[in-house]
A and B are shown apart, each in its own frame.
Chain A
Amino acid sequence: MEKQSRRNFLKTTAIATAAITGLTTRKTKAQEQKGFLPDKAMGVLVDTTVCIGCRKCEWACKTAHQMPTPPIEEYDNRDVFKKMRRPDYTSYTVVNEYKNSDPDKFPIDVKVQCMHCDQPACVSACIVGAFSKLENGAVVWDESKCIGCRYCMVACPFQIPAFEFHKAFQPKITKCDFCYTRQSEGKLPACVEVCPVEALTFGKREDLIQVAKEKIRLYPKRYINHIYGEFEVGGTSWMYLASEDFTKLSFPKLQREPAPGVSESIQHGIFAYFIPPVALYALLGGVMWLNKNKKTETEEE
């Protein structure tokens, strides 16, 4: 009995391993092909253990995007941390505060904005292609195309795109645009530039991963061994380091598969070169013709 179960166990493990290796090799290949210009893609590494929750990034973001901005002194008010906030049409980025599990330590502040996925769900979902992934990694929204269907909001795994529900005319989908206009002028994203404690590091995505790994290696007590965004939904341009499990900091738990993967393969399967629809048309046409002939034959009889 025991022997058999062990044999069964070995068998299943062998099959499982084979399946997993088979799958992973195929997946990495697919990712290599689909991945977006990794050498040019820029990113930001957010070190939540450094952030002090000064919210200057919120102020800088609003100023850079010409949005109504309260005076900078008001950002010193820490009462806003009492409840969780999310980015919306009034601010593309917000900082939330979480209690540290070690009560002697400072609370943890987490800046939230669009993660600029490598293979973004919003780009795949958008009915009119109003979203696009730029060469530097930024995911941007095109106002002239958008019809306001909000499918991008349904699709986004991080629940980032927001909508101006109060506006009857020309409501916008709002989200962080990675300051792509500033970047094209050779400037840093506004939040990175303003950060007084250098909690935000801007650079090539590849380099940032090396920096993050080095930090984790050097300070294993300070960080958990996880770079959030390195692999989540196929990788994101923005990445995070933290001292605690990311789920405690309201990060969604996500798999490595790119968000649009399944839906796109289904979509392309149903429409592969229009063969399935045309075949169905031909089949139905054939059935119709046969039945008509049968009908006339029986009538003639």
Chain B
Amino acid sequence: MEEYMKPQKIKKKFFTPGVIVISVFAAFGLLVLLARFIFGLGAVTHLSNQYPWGIWIGLDVALGVALAAGGFTTAALGHIMHREKFHVIIRPALLTALLGYTFVALSVATDLGRWYYIWHPLIFWNGNSALFEVGMCVMIYMTVLYIEFLPIVCERFIGRVNLPGILRKLNKPIDRLLQVLDKGLDKTMFIFIIAGVVLSCLHQSSLGTLMIIAGPKMHPLWQTPVLPLLFLLSAISVGFPMVIFESIISSKSFGLKPEMDVLTDLARMVGPILFTYLAFKVGDMVIRKTFVYLYEINTTSVMFTIELIVGVVIPLRMFFSPKIVKSPTGVFIASCLVIFGVFMNRLNNFIVAYNPPYSFQPYFPSIGEILVTLGFISLEVLLYRAAVMIFPIITQPSEGALKTKYAIKGVK
């Protein structure tokens, strides 16, 4: 089995009509980004002294970090729990996390007024600040992710380093370096894998601590001391759905069969996790008696209800259904709903729930802000596509091995 099935680079054309559309989005995003760096934040965003944080923090950063949770949840499942079966999804999840965090860092830099001082937290420490904790953890975790990715680079390039022209002299030293790295990492990788999980738990929860300091400025439906726990649980809940979502999309895009036997087992685990999250969320609401705010019908209560019903309760029911869990369409829709739920949750926590005392006009993201967000997502998709074509990430049957259930469509 191992010989037939192994991660390989995908051999397809990079540009398809869909990819071209995405590239256009990416280009628009980059143009607005350029304007932001030339003319300042005020020129392209609707941020103000009352609403200092917009969707670049609420979605690009807070949601981005949550959606990259597939990286640490699959690492925990595959490496720490040693469930070999799930190893096929670890590499795609790792790549997603790597790209996700890279773009989180880019989004932070975009949003910072003095972006060229982004390294300041490394030397000026404030242990009381939740943001400091998030910043440090994200920086270290990003390094860990790149280290975790190194073996894939080694696998791809050892014995195949082939630089052109003058750089040819470097071929041998680089090859030797990769070999040393590969050997060293093989023995020490467990340190980084555990560190990755611990760091993720820390900053996923600290992201929830962020808005607590806003105190009465935050709507009571979301303002609770257990926010760190809720953020951690919601991040863990969205980890596997995100992996399922991407696995199905990329197998569609590359004309492979979805790996349903792995995805079904993965989907079966989502239900209990999601239930735990719901229990804490509802329990908190009951203890703090915040359900009274749901009796009045306004944007806030409607947004809360959508977040909970569409984003948690419905997918929860779906993931507990044995029938849906076995159908690619079923798990895909259920996964989309969970992702939507976390999207709503982060949007609500950072934008909807935030009510400054002197709000002259409510915040709504500008076209520029939306274009940059879409542009970053598009760039991520393009880089993911490029990466699976360069590196061995996605598991597929090797050439000549036709007799597998993962056979490429039409070849059977």
Task: Identify the A interface with B (CB < 8 A).
Answer: 84, 86, 88, 121, 123-130, 145-151, 153-155, 157-159, 161-168, 170-171, 250, 252-255, 259-260, 262-264, 266-268, 270-271, 277, 280-281, 284-285, 287-288, 291-292, 294-295
Contact = CB atoms under 8 A, between A and B. Distances in A.
Contact of A165 (B41, B112, B127, B212): B41
Contact of B216 (A126, A127, A153, A255): A255
Given A165-B41, A254-B216, A267-B130, A148 B206 contact: no
B326 interface: no
B43 A287 contact: no
A125 B82 contact: no
Contact of B128 (A88, A124, A163): A124
A155 B132 CA distance: 14
B265 to A, nearest CB: 17
A254 to B, nearest CB: 7
Contact of B80 (A148, A162, A288): A288
A180 B228 CA distance: 37
B37 to A, nearest CB: 6
Contacts of A148: 112-115, 117
B42 A165 contact: yes
B173 interface: no
A152 to B, nearest CB: 8
Contacts of B214: 154-155
A285 B194 contact: yes
Interface of B: 36-43, 45, 47-50, 52-53, 76, 79-82, 84, 111-115, 117-118, 120-121, 124-133, 135, 190, 193-195, 197-198, 201-202, 205-206, 209-217, 225, 228, 354, 356-358, 360
Nearest to A171: B113
A165 B48 contact: yes
Given A171-B40, A259-B215, A126 B198 contact: no
B128 A146 contact: no
A125 B114 contact: no
A288 B190 contact: yes
- Please indicate which of the listed interface residues A123, A167, A168, A291 has the most CB atoms of chain B within 10 Å of its own CB: A168
A150 B194 contact: no
Given A157-B217, A284-B76, 15 more contacts: A125-B129, A127-B135, A147-B112, A147-B120, A159-B357, A168-B38, A171-B40, A250-B358, A252-B357, A266-B209, A267-B128, A281-B194, A284-B80, A288-B79, A288-B194
B80 A163 contact: no
Q: Report, nearest first, the 7 A-B pairs whose CB atoms are least far apart.
A: A148-B113, A165-B42, A153-B52, A150-B52, A291-B82, A128-B124, A129-B126
A129 B197 contact: no
A133 to B, nearest CB: 12
Contacts of B118: 147
B40 A166 contact: yes
A123 to B, nearest CB: 8
Given A154-B53, A170-B114, A288 B213 contact: no
Contacts of B129: 124-127, 129, 151, 267
Nearest to A266: B209
A188 to B, nearest CB: 28
Given A263-B213, A277-B198, A149 B124 contact: no
A166 B121 CA distance: 24
Nearest to A265: B225
B210 to A, nearest CB: 8
B47 A125 contact: no
B126 A127 contact: yes
Nearest to A279: B198
Nearest to B40: A168
A277 B133 CA distance: 12
Given A148-B114, A171-B40, A271-B133, A154 B197 contact: no
Contacts of A125: 129-131, 213
B117 to A, nearest CB: 4
B216 A163 contact: no
Contact of A294 (B36, B38, B82, B211): B82
Nearest to B111: A149
A292 B189 CA distance: 14
Given A127-B121, A147-B121, A171-B113, A287 B213 contact: no
A241 B58 CA distance: 38
Contacts of A123: 128
B212 A262 contact: yes
12 contacts: A84-B358, A86-B50, A124-B128, A127-B120, A147-B120, A149-B131, A159-B217, A171-B41, A254-B216, A281-B194, A284-B80, A284-B197
